[in-house]
Amino acid sequence: MTGSLWRRALAEALGTGLLVTVVVGSGIAAAELSPGDTGLQLLENAFATALGLAVLILMLGPVSGAHFNPVVSAVDCWFGQRHGGGLAVRDLAAYVPAQVLGAIAGAVLANLMFGEQAVSWSTSDRSAGHLWIGETVATAGLILLIFSLARSGRSAAAPAAVGAYIGAAYWFTSSTSFANPAVTIGRAFSDTFAGIAPGSVPGFVVFQVIGAVVGAVLVLVLYPTAGDAADEVVVPHTESGVTS
Tell me, what CATH number does 55's domain have?
1.20.1080.10
Contacts of 129 (CB under 8 A, 6+ apart): none
- Sign of the CA dihedral running 151, 216, 47, 116: negative
Q: What does the pLDDT read at residue 3?
A: 53
Chain centroid to CA 175? 14
Query: What is the rounded average pLDDT of the residues 6-16?
Result: 97
pLDDT tens sequence across 170-195: 999 999 999 999 999 999 999 999 99
* pLDDT tier, 226 (very low <50, low <70, confident <90, very high otherwise): low
Q: What does the pLDDT read at residue 1?
A: 44
* pLDDT tier, 243 (very low <50, low <70, confident <90, very high otherwise): very low
Domain extent at residue 176:
3-225
186 domain residue, yes or no? yes
Under DSSP, the state recorded for 120 is: B
Q: What does the pLDDT read at residue 63?
A: 94
- Sign of the CA dihedral running 168, 133, 206, 74: negative
Alpha helices in 65-199 (DSSP H): 70-83, 89-113, 129-151, 158-172, 181-187
Q: How many domains does the chain fold into? A: 1
230 domain residue, yes or no? no
Average model confidence (pLDDT) across the chain: 92
Query: What is the rounded average pLDDT of the residues 216-237?
Result: 78
pLDDT tens sequence across 191-217: 999 999 999 999 999 999 999 999 999
* pLDDT tier, 85 (very low <50, low <70, confident <90, very high otherwise): confident
Under DSSP, the state recorded for 224 is: T
Q: CB–CB of 107/183 below 8 Å?
A: no
208 domain residue, yes or no? yes
235 domain residue, yes or no? no
Q: What does the pLDDT read at residue 244?
A: 38
Query: What is the rounded average pLDDT of the residues 81-85?
Result: 73
Q: How far apart are CA 116 and CA 110, in angstroms?
A: 8
Share of the chain above pLDDT 70, in %: 92
What are residue 120's DSSP bridge partners? Answer: 190
Q: CB–CB of 232/150 below 8 Å?
A: yes
List the single range of 159-163, 225-229, 234-238 with lowest mean pLDDT.
225-229
pLDDT tens sequence across 21-73: 999 999 999 999 999 999 999 999 999 999 999 999 999 999 999 999 999 99
112: pLDDT strictly greater than 50: yes
